[in-house]
Amino acid sequence: MASRSVNKVILIGHLGKDAETRFTAGGAARTTFPLATNYRYKDPQTGEWKEETEWHNIVLWRQENLANYLTRGQQVYVEGRIQTRAYEDRETGQKRYMTEIVAQNVLLLGTRATEAPAIEESAAQVPARGVQKATTPPEEPFSEEITDDDVPF
Instruction: Give the residue among 46, 49, 43 at the shortest CA–CA distance from 149.
Output: 49
- The residue among 69, 71, 96, 67 whose CA lies nearest residue 84 is 96
CB 45 within 8 A of CB 13: no
The architecture of the domain spanning 9-136 is Beta Barrel (2.40)
Tell me what pLDDT residue 81 has: 94
Residue-by-residue pLDDT tens, the chain, 153 positions:
678 999 999 999 999 999 888 888 888 888 999 999 999 998 899 889 999 999 999 999 987 777 788 889 999 999 999 999 888 888 888 899 989 999 999 988 875 434 444 333 333 233 334 444 443 444 444 445 555 555 554
Which string of b and e fits 108-117 if b means at least 16 CB within 10 Å?
bbeeebeebe
Q: Which of 59, 3, 61, 12 is nearest to 34 (CA)?
A: 59
- Which residues contact residue 124 at a Cβ distance below 8 angstroms, ignoring those fewer than 6 apart? none
